[in-house]
Amino acid sequence: MRIGIGLPSPIPNTDGATLVAWARRAEEAGFSSLATIDRIVYPSYESLISLAAAAAVTERIGLMTNVLLAPVRHEVLLAKEAASVDRLAGGRVTLGLSVGGRRDDFDAVGNGFETRGRRFDKQLEVMGRVWRGETLSDSGQPSVPFPGREVPILIGGATDKAVERTVKYGIGYTAGGGGPDMMAPLVAKLRTAWSESDRKGEPRVVALSYFALGPGAEDGAAKYLKDYYAFLGDFADMIAESAPTTPEALKGLAASFEAVGVDELIVDPTISELDQVDRLADALL
């Protein structure tokens, strides 16, 4: 199982110099991917802009949105932005996408919350057309840089619909924060649906966990996660308490994810100090 690391892009008060230094250090340490998580109404860096900054200071490490909220964006512009970062990065981008679950993110951009699922289905169809170079206007011009490719998509969400979308549009599935026990039935369902649809090979399966290591780890994880997930009420406390804060806990969690068929575990930081990259590498690489 590969181990990736999240960028500290959503952690409040993270400066730009830290973000790009984090990207460099993650590649030097040998992580498989750098990943972002996405919100509109939160003082975080925009996901694709963060990955573009990371692309500029790295050469090999994968770049992943895990996940990006597609229905708060226009699908043609999103396809163009993703293809641009992918081309600039030499084909290293994987686009994890989901419908989102916070109404305020949709209200802020004027997009309907109740219709987000139908919009997402349309977006996935249109984005594929854009990446294939189809013209969507009378000009006859494509919308993305060429030569390019269809940016690989991972679908997020803990529903049967997410499995359907993965089989139809994606190269795999990403679980946003659920534990191994929660993932196991979805992974089994995905593999069955993938096989029955005659898709070639195996679907990629990605999981996410948070972490903090070293002095002040528990307090740092609790402060960030309780704030980021405050909209969930008491459940935010459960998320904060579940974040591994020792190497032993991280190793045990990674082993459990691998046992249920996860190909890559993305471990997202809750503290933006650069030593967190080294501490995670020492624990899991």
pLDDT tens for residues 88-105? 999 999 999 999 999 999
In three-state secondary structure terms, 20 is: helix
The overall average pLDDT reported for the chain is 96
Q: What is the pLDDT of residue 136?
A: 85
CA proximity to 151, closest of 159, 143, 139, 163 = 143
Separation CA 61–CA 11 (nearest Å) = 21
Q: What are 207's strand-pairing partners?
A: 175, 265
Residues paired with 4 in a beta bridge: 266
Question: Does 177 have pLDDT greater than 80?
Answer: no
CATH of the domain at 251: 3.20.20.30
29 CB contacts (<8 Å, ≥6 apart)?
Answer: 277, 278, 281, 285
* DSSP3 helix / strand / coil % (the chain, rounded to 5): 50, 15, 35
Per the CB < 8 A criterion, the answer to whether 213 and 249 are in contact is no
Please, are residues 260 and 180 in contact by the beta-carbon 8 Å criterion? yes
pLDDT per position as a tens digit, 221-270: 999 999 999 999 999 999 999 999 999 999 999 999 999 999 999 999 99
pLDDT band at 176 (very low <50, low <70, confident <90, very high): confident
What backbone torsions phi and psi does residue 9 show, to the nearest 5 degrees?
-60, -30
Per the structure, the complete domain to which residue 165 belongs is given by 2-284
- Pairwise CA distance, residues 8 & 50, whole Å: 10
Q: Are 58 and 24 in contact (CB under 8 A)?
A: yes
Question: Model confidence at 147, in pLDDT bands (50, 70, 90)?
Answer: confident
CB distance 87 to 143 below 8 Å: no
User: What DSSP letter does each residue of 54-85 carry, written as one string?
Assistant: HHHT-SSSEEEEEEEEGGGS-HHHHHHHHHHH
pLDDT band at 178 (very low <50, low <70, confident <90, very high): confident
CB 154 within 8 A of CB 171: yes
How many independent structural domains does the chain possess?
Answer: 1
Helix, strand or coil, per DSSP, at residue 282: helix
| Amino acid making up residue 56 | A
